[in-house]
Amino acid sequence: MEKLRYDNQVIVVTGAGNGLGRQYAKFFAARGGKVVVNDLGGTFNGKAGSDGAVADAVIKEITDAGGIAVANYNAVQEGEKIIKTAVDNFGRVDVLINNAGILRDVTIRNMKDEDWDVIMDVHVTGAMRTARAAWPYFRKQRYGKVINTSSSSGLFGNFGQSNYAAAKMALVGFTETLAKEGAKYNIHCNALAPAAASRLTQTVWPPEMMEAMKPDSVVPLVGTLVHSSCKETGSIFEAGAGHFSKIRWERSRGFIAKPDDSLTPDVVIRNHDKIVDFSSGASYPTSVADSVSLLEQANAQPAAMTGEQVSFKGRVALV
Ligand code: NAI
């Protein structure tokens, strides 16, 4: 297969001074992309920083290897300045990789407002500000690719990370919505839950895991998703240690009750097994409209349902 290239593409990578972002930036620059290396050079918990040397070191690596890159030292919360760096230096923006991130691990019992706010600010507000600033350029040129960095903590929850998990799950809804808003303009947006050795994971992972989980092994998926040949959008992917997978929502076939006075908690209790049963008739919703189609599906398969047919919001359903 031909080697993927990114010639004439302008790629913004936030938090590109370390870890995953640094690998993305080097990859794109090595394959013809013009890269904005954003990093404010802060500590892993966002309690201190800034250090322009962090982004500068990546720029040096890229330019020494013959690549094209420019540094930006703004916090992602000032996303418009990051996009301006791309436009001022390269005249356009094609790809936005929202990767910058910090951790403030603490249980809910000990959560301070600041621990919550700073995590929301960097991950969620930061991603929104960069995407909002890039959007008019994407729309005008009818082309754009966005990756938002989620996390398995957000998808599944993780002890001591309610702030981080909430922010990372927020990015999933953000991604799914941008994919819908961008569809008509050929703007594709996907979420990534990576796993890689970095300063964010070094305090929690043992040395052998750090050795096995090189950030380089996440790069091929990101490179594929933001390539012009890729049409994938609105999806959630996992990548780490050479494993790649896609995550989707699964809805049980469930149980549809008559929405009248007879609908009491008893009805729900009696049908609990049906509500939580994924073994047959499960569906994979990708839009709000799919909640209506669920009723159609239920009606199409009367064998597994019992009861009389009723009309519900203009649709035929079973009770
Ligand atoms: P890292 O700490 O090595 O790199 C993150 C970079 O973001 C740092 O250079 C930091 O200075 C920069 N940064 C932090 N706040 C910033 C801000 N407000 N503005 C601009 N730059 C800022 O971390 P790593 O592991 O490479 O993480 C990258 C992304 O992947 C993060 O969003 C993280 O939450 C996410 N992630 C990483 C996982 C892993 O296994 N390493 C697992 C799941 C998610």
> Is residue 79 lining ligand 1, measured as CB closer than 6 Å?
no
Would you identify the CATH topology of the domain 10-247?
Rossmann fold (3.40.50)
SS3 for 227?
coil
pLDDT of residue 317: 36
> Is residue 194 lining ligand 1, measured as CB closer than 6 Å?
yes
Q: What is the pTM of this model?
A: 0.93
In this structure, the residue with its CA closest to atom 26 of ligand 1 is 19
- Which ligand 1 atom is the nearest neighbour of the CA of 44? 2
Span between the terminal Cα atoms of the chain, in Å: 53
pLDDT at position 77 over 90: yes
pLDDT of residue 295: 65
> Is residue 154 lining ligand 1, measured as CB closer than 6 Å?
no
User: Rounded to whole angstroms, what are the CA distances from 194 to 2, 58, 147, 236, 242?
Assistant: 25, 21, 12, 11, 11
Residues 30-44: pLDDT tens digits?
A: 999 999 999 999 988
Residues 206-215: pLDDT tens digits?
A: 999 998 899 9
Extended beta strands in 157-308, E state: 187-194, 236-240, 243-247
Closest to 164 (Cα-Cα) out of 204, 131, 130: 204
Q: How many CB atoms within 10 Å of residue 19?
A: 22
pLDDT of residue 318: 34
- d(C-alpha 82, C-alpha 16), whole Å: 12
pLDDT at position 307 over 50: no
> Is residue 15 lining ligand 1, measured as CB closer than 6 Å?
yes
- d(C-alpha 182, C-alpha 165), whole Å: 25
- Which ligand 1 atom is the nearest neighbour of the CA of 17? 9
164 is catalytic: yes
| Half-sphere exposure for 235 (CA within 13 Å, toward CB) | 17
pLDDT of residue 101: 97
The DSSP code for 106 is B
Residue-averaged pLDDT of the chain: 92
- Which ligand 1 atom is the nearest neighbour of the CA of 196? 40
Residues 232-283: pLDDT tens digits?
A: 999 999 999 999 999 999 999 999 998 899 999 999 999 999 999 999 999 9
> How far is the centre of ligand 1, averaged over its atoms, from the C-alpha of 19 (Å)?
7
Residues 163-207: pLDDT tens digits?
A: 999 999 999 999 999 999 999 999 999 999 999 999 888 878 899
> How far is the centre of ligand 1, averaged over its atoms, from the C-alpha of 255 (Å)?
42
> How far is the centre of ligand 1, averaged over its atoms, from the C-alpha of 13 (Å)?
11
SS3 for 309?
strand
Which of 6, 73, 164, 284 is labelled catalytic?
Answer: 164
> Is residue 148 lining ligand 1, measured as CB closer than 6 Å?
no
Lowest-confidence pick of 33-37, 68-72, 222-226, 258-262: 258-262
> Where does the pLDDT of residue 296 fall: very low under 50, low under 70, confident under 90, or very high at 90 and above?
low
Mean pLDDT across the stretch 121-137? 98
Domain boundaries, the chain: 10-247, 265-318
User: Rounded to whole angstroms, what are the CA distances from 317 to 258, 291, 292?
Assistant: 9, 12, 10
